[in-house]
């Protein structure tokens, strides 16, 4: 490795050290974790194997490091990560990706929460049901879990130090699709109300969509997904994807044009290189520094206060 590149990488790691200091999975006892359903979840499908890490020695590394791939999730939970310093009152519900088959729970979950906490944002990590739970309407289960999680955050907002009018979503890959789905299908009644939480809104106040799938249909010449139709009430959205993403950058571009045509405030950031599934782990590629773009955007839409 050339010295200049080594120094660049060292500086990058130092600058984003809160991102790399991810919490272990499962969550430590100092983080509140709770099941989102009081009993059997709606549309429950029993798993053939117990929940656990499905990663093998043959699986790929991201930025030279392994990741945790949780599979066979039948009991969805949320875990609360609160800022250790100043609490802005804003909160984001995070949806890890994994093709609706597994959840990249650290790469696209706990590491995201560490970054958000460093910016004064509360993070609520949703462990939603997989596999075979999406994209909606193939199965309603993951979207049911997302709707319920949003409602629970608003129900506990005072207790958790959260402003119920500044609760957004952030998702990666399949989780990016889930962010878009709940941003447009928040008024779909997918399950019968269970308690007081289910009488609260599950509409996100803003949405972050990172290298999404399922929003443009490759087998239909990248036509928009008919299940997701933005309106003027779709929340402000920022989208990030790489042109060389094997999942297809059309997912980002097509969805952005839908948002634009509906009059939704939206930002689209397309980078030449990056591929898919990089999370927040920094490399020499500019796309891996997308969290700074999202931070700036959150200040622009007044979710976070302006920098002094």
pLDDT, residue 24, reads 65
pLDDT, residue 183, reads 98
Does domain 3-300 sit in CATH 3.40.50.1820?
A: yes
Only one residue has tokens 């509906």, namely: 262
> Strand 91-95 relative to strand 237-242: parallel, antiparallel, unpaired?
unpaired
DSSP tag of 191: S
DSSP one-letter string for 137-177 = TS-SHHHHHHHHHHHHHHHTHHHHT--TTSEEEEEETHHHH
What does pTM read for this prediction? 0.92
pLDDT, residue 15, reads 40
pLDDT, residue 134, reads 87
Contact 125, 160 (CB under 8 A): no
Burial of 221 (0-12, 13-18, 19+ CB in 10 A): exposed
pLDDT, residue 308, reads 65
pLDDT, residue 16, reads 42
Residue ranges of the chain with per-residue pLDDT less than 70:
1-24, 308
76 Cβ contact partners less than 8 Å away, ≥ 6 residues apart: 35, 36, 37, 41, 126, 127, 128, 129, 145, 148, 149
CA–CA dist 223, 217 (Å, integer): 5
pLDDT, residue 120, reads 98
Nearest to 129 by CA among 148, 111, 151: 148
Q: In the structure encoding, which two tokens stand for residue 276, read together?
A: 């898919």
Nearest to 101 by CA among 135, 139, 130: 130
């Amino acid at each position: 490795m050339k010295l200049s590149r080594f120094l660049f990488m060292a500086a990058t790691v130092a600058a984003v050290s809160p991102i790399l200091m991810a919490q272990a999975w499962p969550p430590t006892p100092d983080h509140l974790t709770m099941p989102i359903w009081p009993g059997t979840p709606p549309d429950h499908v029993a798993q053939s194997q117990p929940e656990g890490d499905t990663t093998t020695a043959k699986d790929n590394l991201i930025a030279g490091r392994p990741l945790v791939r949780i599979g066979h999730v039948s009991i969805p939970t949320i875990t609360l990560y609160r800022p250790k310093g100043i609490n802005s009152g804003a909160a984001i519900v995070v949806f890890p990706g994994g093709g609706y088959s597994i959840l990249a729970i650290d790469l696209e979950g706990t590491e995201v929460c560490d970054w958000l906490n460093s910016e004064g944002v509360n993070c609520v990590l949703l462990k939603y049901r997989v596999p075979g739970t999406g994209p909606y309407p193939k199965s309603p289960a993951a979207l049911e879990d997302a709707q319920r999680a949003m409602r629970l955050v608003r129900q506990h907002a005072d207790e958790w130090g959260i402003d119920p009018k500044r609760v957004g979503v952030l998702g990666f890959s399949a989780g990016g699709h889930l962010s878009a789905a709940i941003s447009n299908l928040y008024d779909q009644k997918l399950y019968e109300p269970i308690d007081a939480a289910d009488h609260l809104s599950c509409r996100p106040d803003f949405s972050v969509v990172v290298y999404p799938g399922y929003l443009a249909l490759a087998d239909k010449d990248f036509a928009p997904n008919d299940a997701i139709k933005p309106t003027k009430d779709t929340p402000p959205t920022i989208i990030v994807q790489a042109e060389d993403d094997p999942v297809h950058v059309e997912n980002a571009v097509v969805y952005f044009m839908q948002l634009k045509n509906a009059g939704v405030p939206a930002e689209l950031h397309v980078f030449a290189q990056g591929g898919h599934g990089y999370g927040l782990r920094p490399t020499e590629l500019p796309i891996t520094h997308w969290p700074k773009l999202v931070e700036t955007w959150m200040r622009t839409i007044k979710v976070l206060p302006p920098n002094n």
